[in-house]
Structure 1
Amino acid sequence: MNLSIPRFTRLRRLVRLILGPSTPTPDDEIPSPSTPLTSSSTLPNHRACTTFPDKGVYRLATSCRLHYALIPVLLLWATANVLLIREQYFAPSSPQTIGCTDSLWSDWPPDACGLNGTDCDVALNGEGGGRYRCLGGCTYSPLGNPRWVGGSEVNRRPLVIGGGDGPTYRADSWICASAIHAGQISPTLGGCVDVNYVFASSTSNLLGGWSNGILSAPFLPSFPGSYTLSPSSGPGCWDIHPFISAFNALMLFLTTVFLLPSPAVLLGTLIILGWGQIQLVSNPRYVPPFWEYIFAGLPPALLGGYWFYRVAFKRSLEGFRELPVELALWQGLGYWIGIESSTIFARLPLSGRIGYDGIPPDGKGVLAVLILIVAFIAVLQAWDLRKYGMLQYYIVRYIWLVPVLVVLSQIPGYTLRIHHWFYPMLAIPVLSLPNRVSIFGQAIMLGLFLDGIGRWGWAGIIQQTASLLGDANSGSYIPDVSFANSTLTMLSWLATPRNLTRLGITGVQVVVDDVLRLANHTATNVTLAQVGLGDGGGIEHFFRLAYMANDTSLDFTDPIVRLVNGSYAFAKP
């Protein structure tokens, strides 16, 4: 061992060996892909023939000067999309389009419909349901947080209650998911359905079960509202999302291959196409379209795209200028994965939010595979960055983000949220080489970027934790149930502590069988007679309690089940 060399010198040499050269290679010296796409075939005389599609297509496009048709084709393409969007949302005689989570009655919080459900019932008495149009994909629009239906916890699936013995559903069931469950509309193409609200009556003995890919929850007690479904047809019912996506994918491929748009024009086309596709087709934030939001959000998206062009797309696309087929294939595949990411990932068991309700058990394997794929791609790209002296360049510019993110994650009352727009802005600069990994990866990232800002806007990377709860429990105080003081006909709880009354708590909301029966109740017990249950009717009933503070209900307890024998117990998830 040579002891004359200090240890830190050896370490520095090792680091240099791993990180590669410290001076980036000039752009004009970075080679394009060395092995273009080939096609092999055998001629009748048994001689092998190898062709290069890119060379033939590029020679055809340049010799015929097809690029002169670029602007007319883009205008015709845009016109065709206008007609398709008109058919999607504004077809004559098309009924009202509703979202996947819309229902006749509010489904959250548990007391949303007021005392005895009259707030929701009054709002609907003048309508009685109607004819509605559902878009496709509602099978994959699940609850974001667990929800109790009687004594059953519903999670990671659409909220559908009933329908097990016919197309009758509880009034707070999601209409489109219920229509799929009943077989009235297509899970992929949606459709129209007639909703017939059952006025001022009590529905009971709603059975659940699997049907058409959706599991509905049963509910045996009486509930003051329900509806039935019947099929409907007519113009403007189908969701033509798959057809619009297929048309735009084909047009993008043909434009890239034969019209040879410049890198700037191609990226601009990708941004405008992607923004419109997300806002109007793949994952619209508003149905029908809210044009003010769409046009207000496009300039910031283009501004972000200009930065992407300067730091990545210009260099990588220039390397594929004479490889239009490869560019169309690699970039097109990545682009549509990113643009349709919400549709694709909704079909994977990854609906849980890491750090909140977690990844479902059957999704851990899928997540592991995705991580391995990303890691493999990252290693390939890091090797090429090292080869051209860019690994050190980017590490020096990215390393400072680590302490910044650590500090931001420690701010009390806030949660660090790495949004869709943030990690593409981190990834795209390092996906700037003229290689296939960059072309494929930056296209995915561009799609995710557009999807993120299109669905949620430029949300901050830190957000108040309370604002992220949605319909989850906030962790507030809840009444302390006393089974010892309860009887066959009475449920009791402990008196409100004095320190809580100083916080503005005035009483207790009593929900029985998912309907508010006593509002701002000041006693410490409730009898079956007070909530109209008589002797219980020989079935289980479900009580939920919540403190009332400043005219707002706090968190509700888990259901307290009154068993048939008159005893009480908390429901088990």
Structure 2
Amino acid sequence: MSPDRGATDSPGAAAAQSYPLQDLENSGSGSGSSEYVNVHRSGSSDSVSAHASSPPVKVEEDDDNEHPGYDEPLLPTTEPRATTTTTTPLAARGQRAGWMHAIQSWIRAPQSPRKYKINPLLPSLQTASIRLVDRYLPGRRSKIYALLIAHGIWALLFFLILHSSVVGPQVPGYGNPVRLSCNSRLWTNATNCGLNGDDCRPFDNSLFAFSCPAGCKATIVLEPYTVGVEEINYQSLVIGGSNTTNEDGDDIGIYRGDSYICAAAMHAGLVSDQSGGCGILTRTGEHSHYVSVEKNGISSIEFPSNFPLSFTFERESVPKCRDVRWPLFAISVFFSCILSLFITSPAIFYSSIFLVVWFQVSLSSDPPYFPDYSEVVSLSLGCLLPSAFVGFAIYYFCVRHTLRDLTAQWEKTILWVGGCWVGALDNYTFDRLPISRLTPHDIQQQPGAIPTLIVILCVLVAVVVTQAWAFKNEGRLQQYLLLYGVMACGILALVAVPGMNLRIHHYILALLFLPGTALQTRPSLLYQGFLVGLFINGVARWGYDSILQTPAALLADAQLGSILPEIAVPTITGNNITFTFAGLAAEADGISVLVNDVERFHDFREADGTVEPFTWTRQREGDPEYFRFGYMKVNALGGTWYEDFTKPGIWEADGSWVQMEPGSSR
């Protein structure tokens, strides 16, 4: 039955709403066990006006579902039961839509976009150079003449000093010194030098004068390199340098023939890392027992056996010879700073700095190696024309937005020009980091590469976030996200190309990140200058290397992961050791044997599939000897391809044999 709330003459009573009572769990059962009650809507204005004088609510249980005249939904009279909240697919989609809407709202241009502009610190000081130019060079023609004179003075000094360095002093009795790179060697590797090293002759009685560039101390091998029983990687390749004494009491180093010549000369104290130098190299033929010696900041590698080619350095006086990259660098930095302080036009400033930095890098600071310097000049000029077109695109889409109407001359010089030189000298700045190449192979094998990469990525993320925030404030974030989305899709498409590996070079990194610097903020000045310098360094030093490379091109001298021959225990008779080869792999055409890192034997499979045995006689009593074995394959168009070699087996000085450990070597 329905409780009587009493009559009322209030006009609000007509407006009061009624809610039918329904037992959701026991509808129509008539059991009288309903757990719901009727209550007034106390917070409703209509309820208040309709029931201001109503008596207290009488609560009764009801056994039917007809309750006219009540205006509130039901409330439970017992303690609610625990329920589990589940998110329906529709609710989940709603949440995702909410997040997407929030992201879109954040990306969307603000109602009042803010255009960034650098207000110079100490404006009277920073604009002093501009006022000086306007005062003494008021006309456009006079400014052009002054600019040409400044460029002419820089070019005259730069190329005169460079020419005197290239021509160099004559070494009496030897002529002009041979130009070497930091990784020049007399003996490249065992397979390139041929059987018994005949392709790397002469071994002795040969002298020549040489010149070394600066900075060779940091030159290291980038793939595992085997020296006897030791495998080295990411260290300087200097083998030997044992201390002997000549008649004058000077230390003379004897170095194995495959050592880096310039690093060995530095180890011997003949040249310096700061300025390079000249010397005279003498081939001394076969030598044994190369001892590990640490001198002049370089620790050499020990090799206790014999090698057919070694060399030393003459101590006779040679004309002074030095690398002029640092004097030329000082001249280029000075003129680039002067031009930056006095030039206000973004186009003239950018083109002037671009040319100065280009020639400094390509001809002096980090030139590619050619014995004939004319080839260096030819390559520099050959890459300049396409780089000028790319440079114009960089200016049009990035640089002009950053430098337009900028009057902070000192800040531009310090941040933009300074950052540009840091990027352009990548071989002295970021090349010192333990990441030689941005490939999975190198990152996994180089010590310290992964932590360094993590730090770089963290810094990069911070830079990207701050730049994105600035673009959002300017209302340009959407278009730049679209641009980088297209770039990302292009990179993913390149990754999907079968049979090729993605290789992100210096200049490609610069081109990818430069659009994100098209803002006039102080951080953008620094980032943009650095990236322009990095682009110049990458192209001027290495050219436009492909973004896609074959696995063989990336591996170079690295281990190939090829199948290795299985070698049985040899037969030892006195000073002779004999190896027999049975069961060659079906894909192999022959087998090669290295003894003490020199190819001493190779033979190709006969028609019946056999290969003749190999017998070796010990070269020197008391020397251990190291044997490595690898398959050979014949190319379809001729020539021979060497697969990986085994780890070395050791024929000890006492005549015992130590079998090879599992694994490959090169």
2:345 to 246, 255, 262: 262
Quote the offset at 1:461 in angstroms: 1.6
State whether residues 341 and 448 of structure 1, in contact with CA within 8 Å, keep that contact through their aligned partners in structure 2: yes
2:117 to 32, 39, 49: 32
Quote the offset at 1:476 in angstroms: 2.9
Q: How does 1:293-312 map to 2 (within 5 A)?
A: 293-312=379-398
CA distance in 2, matches of 1:233, 1:136: 20
Aligned-partner SS, 1:478: coil
CA distance in 2, matches of 1:327, 1:340: 19
State whether residues 192 and 233 of structure 1, in contact with CA within 8 Å, keep that contact through their aligned partners in structure 2: no
Aligned to 1:227: 311
Q: How does 1:98-177 map to 2 (within 5 A)?
A: 98-105=180-187, 107-108=188-189, 110-122=190-202, 128-165=206-243, 166-177=252-263
CA distance in 2, matches of 1:208, 1:318: 59
State whether residues 238 and 263 of structure 2, in contact with CA within 8 Å, keep that contact through their aligned partners in structure 1: yes
> CA-to-partner distance for each residue in 1:487-528, whole Å, 9 max, x for gaps?
576464652446225xxx0x311111112211226676866x
Amino acid paired to 1:255: L
Greater shift in the superposed pair: 66-75 or 360-369: 360-369
Is the alpha carbon distance of 1:130 and 1:75 closer, same or farther for their aligned partners in structure 2, counting shifts above 3 Å?
same
Amino acid paired to 1:74: H
Greater shift in the superposed pair: 562-571 or 283-292: 562-571
Quote the offset at 1:341 in angstroms: 0.6
Is the alpha carbon distance of 1:353 and 1:538 closer, same or farther for their aligned partners in structure 2, counting shifts above 3 Å?
farther
State whether residues 180 and 187 of structure 1, in contact with CA within 8 Å, keep that contact through their aligned partners in structure 2: yes
State whether residues 91 and 236 of structure 1, in contact with CA within 8 Å, keep that contact through their aligned partners in structure 2: no
Q: How does 1:419-458 map to 2 (within 5 A)?
A: 419-458=505-544
CA distance in 1, matches of 2:421, 2:538: 14
State whether residues 192 and 231 of structure 1, in contact with CA within 8 Å, keep that contact through their aligned partners in structure 2: no
Amino acid paired to 1:274: V
1:15 to 89, 103, 107: 103
1:62 correspondence with 2:130:
no
Aligned to 2:565: 479
Is the alpha carbon distance of 1:260 and 1:209 closer, same or farther for their aligned partners in structure 2, counting shifts above 3 Å?
same
Quote the offset at 1:482 in angstroms: 2.6
Is the alpha carbon distance of 1:395 and 1:564 closer, same or farther for their aligned partners in structure 2, counting shifts above 3 Å?
same
CA distance in 1, matches of 2:391, 2:437: 30
Structure 2 alignment gaps of length 5 or more: 1-90, 171-175, 244-251
Aligned to 2:46: none
Is the alpha carbon distance of 1:443 and 1:384 closer, same or farther for their aligned partners in structure 2, counting shifts above 3 Å?
same
CA distance in 2, matches of 1:330, 1:230: 47
> CA-to-partner distance for each residue in 1:197-219, whole Å, 9 max, x for gaps?
11xx4210110132222221111
Quote the offset at 1:74 in angstroms: 1.0
1:569 correspondence with 2:651:
no
Aligned-partner SS, 1:357: helix
Q: How does 1:174-573 map to 2 (within 5 A)?
A: 174-198=260-284, 201-231=285-315, 234-235=318-319, 237-257=321-341, 259-287=342-370, 288-290=373-375, 291-320=377-406, 322-351=407-436, 353-358=438-443, 360-483=446-569, 490=577, 492=579, 495-497=582-584, 499-500=586-587, 505=589, 507-520=590-603, 530-533=615-618, 537-550=621-634, 551-552=639-640, 553-564=642-653, 566-570=656-660
Quote the offset at 1:475 in angstroms: 2.8
Identity percentage of aligned residues: 28
Quote the offset at 1:6 in angstroms: 5.3
State whether residues 414 and 465 of structure 1, in contact with CA within 8 Å, keep that contact through their aligned partners in structure 2: yes
Is the alpha carbon distance of 1:239 and 1:211 closer, same or farther for their aligned partners in structure 2, counting shifts above 3 Å?
same
1:96 correspondence with 2:174:
no
TM-score (norm 2): 0.75
1:79 to 156, 161, 171: 156
CA distance in 2, matches of 1:170, 1:7: 70
Is the alpha carbon distance of 1:562 and 1:24 closer, same or farther for their aligned partners in structure 2, counting shifts above 3 Å?
farther
Quote the offset at 1:446 in angstroms: 0.9
Is the alpha carbon distance of 1:264 and 1:129 closer, same or farther for their aligned partners in structure 2, counting shifts above 3 Å?
same
State whether residues 398 and 517 of structure 2, in contact with CA within 8 Å, keep that contact through their aligned partners in structure 1: yes
State whether residues 432 and 438 of structure 1, in contact with CA within 8 Å, keep that contact through their aligned partners in structure 2: yes
State whether residues 116 and 519 of structure 2, in contact with CA within 8 Å, keep that contact through their aligned partners in structure 1: no
> CA-to-partner distance for each residue in 1:297-331, whole Å, 9 max, x for gaps?
111110001101110111111142x1111101101
State whether residues 151 and 542 of structure 1, in contact with CA within 8 Å, keep that contact through their aligned partners in structure 2: yes
Is the alpha carbon distance of 1:425 and 1:11 closer, same or farther for their aligned partners in structure 2, counting shifts above 3 Å?
same
- How large is the Cα RMSD of the aligned pairs? 2.7
TM-score (norm 1): 0.87
CA distance in 1, matches of 2:225, 2:518: 45
Is the alpha carbon distance of 1:417 and 1:540 closer, same or farther for their aligned partners in structure 2, counting shifts above 3 Å?
same
Structure 1 alignment gaps of length 5 or more: 39-50
Is the alpha carbon distance of 1:440 and 1:555 closer, same or farther for their aligned partners in structure 2, counting shifts above 3 Å?
same
> CA-to-partner distance for each residue in 1:260-308, whole Å, 9 max, x for gaps?
1521111112222222112111111134242322211111110001101
Greater shift in the superposed pair: 510-519 or 307-316: 510-519
Quote the offset at 1:58 in angstroms: 2.9
Quote the offset at 1:557 in angstroms: 1.9
State whether residues 97 and 133 of structure 1, in contact with CA within 8 Å, keep that contact through their aligned partners in structure 2: yes
Aligned-partner SS, 1:101: coil
Amino acid paired to 2:192: A
CA distance in 1, matches of 2:318, 2:98: 77
Amino acid paired to 2:168: A
Amino acid paired to 1:75: G
> CA-to-partner distance for each residue in 1:450-479, whole Å, 9 max, x for gaps?
111222222222111112111112233331
CA distance in 2, matches of 1:24, 1:294: 48
Is the alpha carbon distance of 1:353 and 1:55 closer, same or farther for their aligned partners in structure 2, counting shifts above 3 Å?
closer
Greater shift in the superposed pair: 417-426 or 299-308: 417-426
Aligned-partner SS, 1:510: strand
Amino acid paired to 2:328: I
Greater shift in the superposed pair: 242-251 or 113-122: 113-122
Count of residues in Structure 1 that have an aligned counterpart in Structure 2 = 538
CA distance in 2, matches of 1:344, 1:492: 50
Aligned-partner SS, 2:335: helix
Quote the offset at 1:223 in angstroms: 1.2
State whether residues 509 and 547 of structure 1, in contact with CA within 8 Å, keep that contact through their aligned partners in structure 2: yes
CA distance in 1, matches of 2:182, 2:411: 38
CA distance in 1, matches of 2:462, 2:585: 59
Quote the offset at 1:245 in angstroms: 0.9
Aligned-partner SS, 2:443: coil
Quote the offset at 1:385 in angstroms: 0.7
Aligned-partner SS, 2:304: coil
Quote the offset at 1:430 in angstroms: 1.5
Which structure ranks higher in relative contact order (CA pairs < 8 Å, sequence separation ≥ 6)? Answer: 1
State whether residues 195 and 228 of structure 1, in contact with CA within 8 Å, keep that contact through their aligned partners in structure 2: yes
> CA-to-partner distance for each residue in 1:22-57, whole Å, 9 max, x for gaps?
7996xxx724113x234xxxxxxxxxxxx7421333
State whether residues 140 and 346 of structure 1, in contact with CA within 8 Å, keep that contact through their aligned partners in structure 2: no
Is the alpha carbon distance of 1:225 and 1:234 closer, same or farther for their aligned partners in structure 2, counting shifts above 3 Å?
closer
Aligned to 1:44: none
Is the alpha carbon distance of 1:33 and 1:353 closer, same or farther for their aligned partners in structure 2, counting shifts above 3 Å?
closer
